[in-house]
Structure formats: structure tokens, C-alpha cells
Amino acid sequence: MAKFLVSWKALNSRTSENPEERHKQNIAFVELVQQALKAGALKDWGTAPDGMKGYAIFEGSEADMALMAQLYLPYFEFQDQIVLTADEFLEVLKRA
């Protein structure tokens, strides 16, 4: 199963200017993250103190990651990078 480092950033143009609406929206997004962590698709997740950018470690297929990203569109933008564990990379080095 592939593992991805995902950097995410909230899009200001999609964030509500109303503080109460923005607060409710943020809670809903973080509850989705907690569900994904409990289900095991997300292995780790973190945010900057302002909640406007952060990272996630996702494990699964590219299609699974695309499906999860759909839950957060169009409010967030993502950059992903496939990553290897130390054991996986050592195996690559030994085969090279």
C-alpha cells in the first residue's frame, strides 16, 4: 500500500468571512479528519496554529486518496508526494 505525504492549504477565497460559520465549518472538517484517522486511512495529521495549512500522512491507493480529497474540495488545495519508509528505501538501495 502506498504512503503519501500530503501538504494542504485552506483557500482564503472559500473560507467564510463570518466567524461563526467559519468556526462550524472548521469543526466539520476536523471531525472528517478524526474519522479518517480512526478508520486508518490517515496515519497522521497536523495543522499550523491558525488552522490554515498543515500536513497529512495518507496510506492507500491514488484512487482512495482522490476520493478522500473530494471531501475537502473546493475549500483546500493539496500537494502530495509518495514516500517510502526507511526499510523500503534501504531495499531500493540494496537492489540498485
- Annotate 37-95 with DSSP letters as a single string: HHHTSEEEEEE-TTSSEEEEEEES-HHHHHHHHHTTTTTEEEEEEEE--HHHHHHHHHH
Distance from CA of residue 11 to its chain's centroid? 14
Whether the pTM exceeds 0.85: the reply is: yes
Query: Cα(76)–Cα(87) distance, rounded to whole angstroms?
Result: 32
- Does pLDDT of 13 surpass 90? no
Which amino acid is present at 60? G
Write out the CATH class of domain 3-95. Answer: alpha beta
Largest CA distance in the chain: 56
Confidence grade of residue 15 (pLDDT, cut at 50, 70, 90): confident
Distances (CA, A) of 7 to 32, 38, 46, 82: 17, 20, 10, 12
pLDDT tens per residue, range 19-46? 999 999 999 999 999 999 999 999 999 9
